[in-house]
Amino acid sequence: MFQLAAFKLHARQSMSNQFSKTLLVTFFILLVSYLLAIAEYFSSNTLLTFGLSLVQLLLGGPLLLAAFTYFLHTAKYDQANTNYFFTPFSSIGRAIPAFLWQTFRIFLWSCLLLVPGIIKNYAYSQYFFILAEQPKISFNKALKTSEKITKGYKMELFMLDLSFLGWFILSTVTCGLALFYVLPYYLLTKAHLYHYLKTESLKQNICTMEDFSSDEIFSEEDELITHPAKQQTSSFVPPQQQKSSAPA
């Protein structure tokens, strides 16, 4: 059963267990975002503004992949580390086209009407989690798998975002300071949700493990680079198996 309150509870527990590292990662994400936003705001040169917008676009992919990788593993393991965040930056040549391809696909659907664009945005919402979990999976396969596991859950995904509306309003009122709490809370909730969607899709035979794996065979060295803590025991338990539940 889809339990939003349970996902949020697990997210808060993950934040508590990895508070200092999560704060460091969040600080880095917000620092880069704020510096680019401030530079663009005070830029009076059209060419410079265009250049900064281009930099934002190019940094979007690596920053998203790094954030999703860190928070995915923080949600999954008892002891995640910052390597999960910084390692994806070594794959910047893959992260940029991955981001551009997803953005392009959503843009094409948005050209039809606003609603199809919104629907596809939620259909593709697990795309970066899949890329984070399997760095060598093809972009199209990751998008198709995301569509499969979100089928029948788009309204629930929308309700999740809606439940954080008050938090993001608070972040605006506090000039972004509340984001140091809200951003990891939001992304960890989505990470726990991803694990639930993946587990349910496998349980109901909507997907197989092949849908979540690349067509390439990893070498032992690749595994150590992309999953530095792969031998850690996963702490994730589907929400329906948890006896405890708490309101958001």
45, with CB counted inside 10 A (0-12, 13-18, 19+), is exposed
pLDDT tens, position by position, 35-46: 888 877 777 777
Distance separating alpha carbons of residues 63 and 198, to the nearest angstrom = 23
Q: What is the pLDDT of residue 53?
A: 76
Q: What is the pLDDT of residue 220?
A: 42
Q: What is the pLDDT of residue 238?
A: 56
Transcribe 140-178 into DSSP letters: HHHHHHHHHHHTT-HHHHHHHHHHTHHHHHHHHHTTTTT
Q: What is the pLDDT of residue 225?
A: 39
SS3 8: helix
Kindly give the parts of the chain with pLDDT less than 50: 217-235, 243-246, 248
Cα 199 to Cα 21, 68, 92, 137: the distances in Å are 27, 18, 29, 19
Q: Where are the alpha helices (DSSP H) in the chain?
A: 4-17, 19-41, 46-76, 83-86, 92-112, 114-123, 127-133, 139-150, 154-163, 165-173, 179-203, 220-226
